[in-house]
């Protein structure tokens, strides 16, 4: 009886681990684009003006990507429209990747590239 339970647990763990490791047709391209977007934001943040620390930062709370984007848009570094376009297009790319739709994924990534520039 114990061997049967161990066998069932082992099989379920194996199946779960293979599902978590699945990579869609453009997972690599999505990862590259995300790193490109992050690098662009970091470069703009480093070159732009500084702002005062928020109350949340003074309470040792970690910033979220959304709060960073909001702060940068207030400084005029990145428009809120660009942030929305990039977020929506990246979400579409991830959804298309999960659906194995390489064409839709590539179109969404092309939209991200147009939004952030060269």
Tokens of 48: 């732009």
The pTM of this model reads 0.61
| Sequential pLDDT tens for the chain (118 residues) | 455 544 444 555 555 455 445 678 899 999 999 998 888 878 876 776 666 777 776 777 777 777 776 766 666 655 667 778 888 999 999 999 999 999 999 999 999 999 888 7
Burial status of residue 58 (CB atoms within 10 A of its CB: 0-12, 13-18, 19 or more): exposed
Burial status of residue 9 (CB atoms within 10 A of its CB: 0-12, 13-18, 19 or more): exposed
Q: Which residues of 92-105 are buried (b: 16+ CB within 10 A; e: fewer)?
A: bbbebbeeebeebb
């Amino acid at each position: 009886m114990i061997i049967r339970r161990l066998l069932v647990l082992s099989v379920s763990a194996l199946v779960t681990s293979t599902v978590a490791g699945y990579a869609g047709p453009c997972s690599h391209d999505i990862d590259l684009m995300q790193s490109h977007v992050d690098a662009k934001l970091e470069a703009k943040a480093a070159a732009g003006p500084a702002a005062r620390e928020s109350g949340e930062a003074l309470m040792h709370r970690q910033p979220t990507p959304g709060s960073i984007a909001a702060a940068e848009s207030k400084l005029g570094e990145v428009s809120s429209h660009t942030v929305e376009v990039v977020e929506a297009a990246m979400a579409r790319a991830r959804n298309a990747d999960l659906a194995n739709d390489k064409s839709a994924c590539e179109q969404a990534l092309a939209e991200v590239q147009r939004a952030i520039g060269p």
